[in-house]
Amino acid sequence: METTEKISGIITILKSEYDWLQDHASFKDGVWRCDITDAEIIMKPVQHPIWENGVEPIGRETKTVYHLYCPRCQKEPEFTPGSPIERDDLIEAPNG
């Protein structure tokens, strides 16, 4: 079974996944756990170029974006490393 690396501090995630996390998980024993299955939430790191308004900015910024899911009640998200993500779709959030 895949486990979450222990990530502390601020992480970059999609706003939609942050909203999902707040609604469907709780922080227990130092990790996020699904409120339904009590499974540890997986945080899959993927490198993405960050775009603004559909355009790649000069200097090509990339970030590690953590994609979140419950391994018991969701399929693993499929994100291709290098696929662009809009800056407005991201949030810097504390892990914990």
How far the first Cα of the chain sits from its last, in Å, is 22
Q: How far apart are CA 86 and CA 11, in angstroms?
A: 16
- Residue 91, pLDDT > 60, answer yes
**Where are the chain's structural domains?**
10-94
User: What does the pLDDT read at residue 8?
Assistant: 62
Mean pLDDT, range 76-85, rounded to an integer: 86
Q: pLDDT for 54-66, tens place per residue?
A: 777 676 889 999 9
User: What does the pLDDT read at residue 77?
Assistant: 84
User: What does the pLDDT read at residue 7?
Assistant: 59
Strand partners, 91: 13
User: What does the pLDDT read at residue 3?
Assistant: 43
User: What does the pLDDT read at residue 58?
Assistant: 72
Q: Give rounded-to-5 percent helix, strand, coil for the chain.
A: 15, 45, 45
- Whether 76 and 44 have beta carbons less than 8 Å apart is answered as yes
